[in-house]
Amino acid sequence: MSVEEQKTEQKLVFKSSSLQFQSANKKKCVWKGLKQIISSEKALPWPDNCVHYGSINAPPSFKPPEKFSDLSGLPAPYTDPQTRLRFANKDEYATIIELPMDITAGYLTLRGATSIVG
């Protein structure tokens, strides 16, 4: 058997001939991001009952949002009544008590909570 006959026998069945053609031309495969997919889908005429990336809306959750500590990020079952900061254990509570008012206000603004005075 010659070398050419061996190459034709060893041709892999699972490879597409178009993939071999692309690799011969040294073309790179360009991947699209989600924003590009959504913008290209918005440009196409879609029927009203068709589901695509831009039309998926999640219903509101029935579960209450999980609360995390403002200091450590651990799940926080407790809230300080004076500062309204959330904490996970007694060590964090001791730290919260010692915090000045401006730092407490900073933690609340990071969380997106209302001011202490309100």
The pLDDT assigned to 118 comes to 46
Q: In whole angstroms, what is the distance from residue 96 CA to residue 104 CA?
A: 8
Domain spans of the chain, in order of start: 78-111
Give 11-53 pLDDT, tens digit per residue. 555 556 665 554 455 667 778 888 888 788 778 887 877 776 6
Upper half-sphere CA count for residue 95 (Cβ side, 13 Å): 14
